[in-house]
Amino acid sequence: MVGETASASELKDRFIPAWNNIVFSESKKYDIGKFYKKPNVHYNMDFINELNAARDASTIVRYENISITEDDLVKHISGYNVQGSGVGLVYVIESFNKIEELGSMWVVFLDIETNQILLARRMVAKPGGFGVRNFWARTVYDVMQDSGKQLKKWVK
């Protein structure tokens, strides 16, 4: 988070879990299968929830722009402890920037067995909505929708 939206502990304990679980709590709206035209989608948030629970809350709120490089992504993704096989999808949030009113994140498709990145694209979206959760969730929704539309171009 760039700029203070809520306390760091409130972001860690309340809002980050709410953003991560929005695909369940609002499954019709945040339907990954619909966005990417995949009829069978298996959700596994356990490893993401573990990573976020272990995060130091004091590192969440900043007052300068944050940039994640592709090398940073490789390091981050290689630490995932995911069981199974197939292609996984994760949205790595780079920044929810209150000052610029812009959310930036990486859309990452990975080989679940090897944690190797198959495709990664950085995307941005404007926030919107009432309340902290919905305001920033809008950026995730727009990126889901836009990345689903662009996926065929990306894999050519």
For 13, 49, 64, 116, 130, the CA distances from 67, given in Å and listed in that order, are 23, 22, 10, 21, 27
Quick check: is 107 in a domain?
yes
Q: What is the largest CA-CA distance in the chain?
A: 43
Residue 100 near residue 69, CB atoms below 8 Å: no
Q: Is the pLDDT of residue 44 over 80?
A: yes
Q: How do 87-97 and 116-125 pair as beta strands?
A: unpaired
- The per-residue pLDDT for range 77-126, each reduced to its tens digit, is 998 888 889 999 999 999 999 889 999 999 999 999 999 999 999 999 99
Q: Is the pLDDT of residue 62 over 80?
A: no
Quick check: is 125 in a domain?
yes
Quick check: is 3 in a domain?
no
Rounded CA-CA distance 37/40 in Å is 9
- Residue (of 154, 121, 126) closest to 140 by Cα position: 126
Determine the pLDDT at residue 5. 65
Quick check: is 129 in a domain?
yes
Percent of the chain having pLDDT more than 70? 97
- Could you tell me which residues are beta bridge partners of residue 116? 111
Per-residue pLDDT band for 2 (boundaries 50, 70, 90) equals very low
- CA 43 remoteness from chain centre: 14
Quick check: is 48 in a domain?
yes
Quick check: is 1 in a domain?
no
pTM reported for the whole predicted model: 0.88
Quick check: is 119 in a domain?
yes
Provide the domain count of the chain: 1
Buried b (16+ CB within 10 A) or exposed e, 42-60: eeeeeebeeebeeeeeeeb
- CA 41 remoteness from chain centre: 17
Higher-pLDDT residue of 66, 4: 66
Quick check: is 2 in a domain?
no
Q: Domain span at residue 91?
A: 8-155
Provide the 3-class DSSP secondary structure of residue 101: coil
